[in-house]
Amino acid sequence: MPLDFTLDEQQLQLRADARKFADEVLSGVAPAIADISDPGKCFDATKPFYQKMVDAGFQKMLIPPEYGGSEFSALAFALATEELARVDVNVPTTLLVTGLGVLPIIRLGTPEQKARWLPRFTDDQPRLAAWAFSEVTGGANYDSPDPKFGAQTFALRDGDSWVINGAKQFISNGAGWDNEGPELMCVFCRTDPEAPPHESLALIVIEQGTPGVEIIGAIDTIGHRGASTARIEFNDARVPAENILGKPGDGMDLVQYGFSWTCTPIGAACVGRMRAAFDIAYEFARTDSRSGPHPVIEHQNVGYMLADLKMRIEAARYLTWKTADHFDKTDGKDREMANITKIYCSELAVQAVYDAMRLVGIESYTKRNPLSAIMEDVLVFPIYDCGNMGMRRRWMHEMFRNPTYDPLAAAENRLSYDPLAPAGTLLSTV
C-alpha cells in the first residue's frame, strides 16, 4: 500500500471549519489588543474570543467523551491549530495551555478525580487550566538527582492535606481571567525535600480560590501579547490529600508526557505563523516594484527566497503530521519525534519569518507591517515550553545514551527506546 498523506473527509472538514473560524473570529484579536499596554488587561480583552472558541466546541475537544467532551486526536488538534495560529497565536495558546493543564488529570487521575474536574470544561463556559512548572530560578534542572537543587516548590503532607510553599513563574493562564486564577492548576512540586526526584516529584491540583495562592502579576512579553503568563507564589496553600495525581515520583513521567503532547500543536502553530509570513512576502513580491520597472517577484533572488520559505513550510507541516500520528499510535510513549518536532519547527519558524522580513525590507521592521508582530510571536517558540537548549536537546541526549536506542525506530513507526530497560539491554523493537 502506498504512503498516503491525503486527509479524509472529516479531517478536511475540520481544517475548513478551523480556517473559517480563524478568518471570521480570530482576525479580530489583533485590533482588540493593539492599544492595550497592560499585559493582564490585554489577556482579559481576549476573553470574548475565547468564549467563541468554547461556543464552537474547541474547549470540549480537550476532554474525553465519557466526561462530556469530544476529545481530538493529536493529529486533529494539529490540523486545527495550524489554521487558527495562521491568523492569531494568542487565543489558541490559551486553549493549548488549558489542554496541558487538564492532561495530567486525563492521564493519571482516578475515576473520582476525573469525574470531579473534567466535566467543568464541557459546560460552555470559558474556563482555564494551567500547569505550574517553571521555578523562578529556572526549570531546566527540575530533575536534579541532588535534592538540594532542582524543583524547590514543596508540598508537605500534614494530616489529610498537602501544604504547598514555593514560587513559580512563566505560568501560562496562571493569572486567569480578571486576575482570579484558573479553574484548575496542576502544580509541579516535591513531596520530600530529602528524596530524589524519582521518589518525590508530583503534580497536585489546586482549585481556583484556594487560600495561600498569590498571583503576583502578569509578566510583560514582547510577543504573544494576548496570552497570559504569570508569577505565582504559594504560601502555606493547603489542598486535600486526594488532590495528588498518582503518587510521589509520578511527576517525572508526567512532565515528559505532557510536554510531548504539546509538541505537535506547537509545531502546527509554527507552520501557521510561517504561512502568514509567506503570504505577506508573496503578496509583496507580486505587487510591489520598489520603484523598478516590474514587481520584485521577477527577480531571481526573490523567487529563490520564496521557494526556500515554501519548502520550510511543507517540511514542517508533514513532520508535524508524522509526529502527531506517531503520538496517537504509541499513546504518547515515543518522545523522540515529539522533541524533534518542537526543536526543528520552532527554530525553523524564526529563520523563515526573518527571511520573509529580509525579502520585504525595512518596512517589515515597522509596526505598520504585520511581519514585525509575527516575528515577536515566533521568537518565543524555541525558548518556551521546555526550551530547546535547556531541556529538549538534553532529553534527546539522554535518549541517545540509553543502550536500547534505535536510530531507525521513529522512521519505522516504532518506539525509539525503552526508558525502563536495564542498562546494557539491546532492543530492536518495543
Summarize the chain as % helix, strand, coil (round to 5): 50, 15, 35
Q: Within 10 Å of residue 148's Cβ, how many Cβ atoms?
A: 8
Cell readout for 203 is: 503534580
Which secondary-structure segment (H or E) carries 16? helix 9-24
Catalytic residue among 143, 377, 385, 406: 385
- Quick check: 213 and 193 in contact, CB under 8 A? no
The answer to whether residue 385 is catalytic is yes
Which secondary-structure segment (H or E) carries 60? none
Please give the Cα distance from 36 to 49 (Å, whole number): 16
Cell readout for 395 is: 532529553
- Quick check: 265 and 81 in contact, CB under 8 A? yes
For the chain, give the secondary structure using H, E and C: CCCCCCCCHHHHHHHHHHHHHHHHCHHHHHHHHCCCCCHHHHHHCCHHHHHHHHHCCCCHHHCCHHHCCCCCCHHHHHHHHHHHHHHCCHHHHHHHHHHHHHHHHHHHCCHHHHHHHHHHHHCCCCCCEEEECCECCCCCCCCCCCCCCCCCCEEEEECCEEEEEEEEEEEECCCCHHHCCCCEEEEEEECCCCCCHHHHEEEEEEECCCCCEEEEEECCCCCCCCCCEEEEEEEEEEEEHHHEECCCCCHHHHHHHHHHHCHHHHHHHHHHHHHHHHHHHHHHHHHCCCCCCCCHHHCHHHHHHHHHHHHHHHHHHHHHHHHHHHHHHCCCCCCHHHHHHHHHHHHHHHHHHHHHHHHHCHHHHCCCCHHHHHHHHHCCCCCCCCCHHHHHHHHHHHHHHCCCCCCCCHHHCCCCCCCCCCCCCCCCCC
Q: Active-site positions?
A: 385
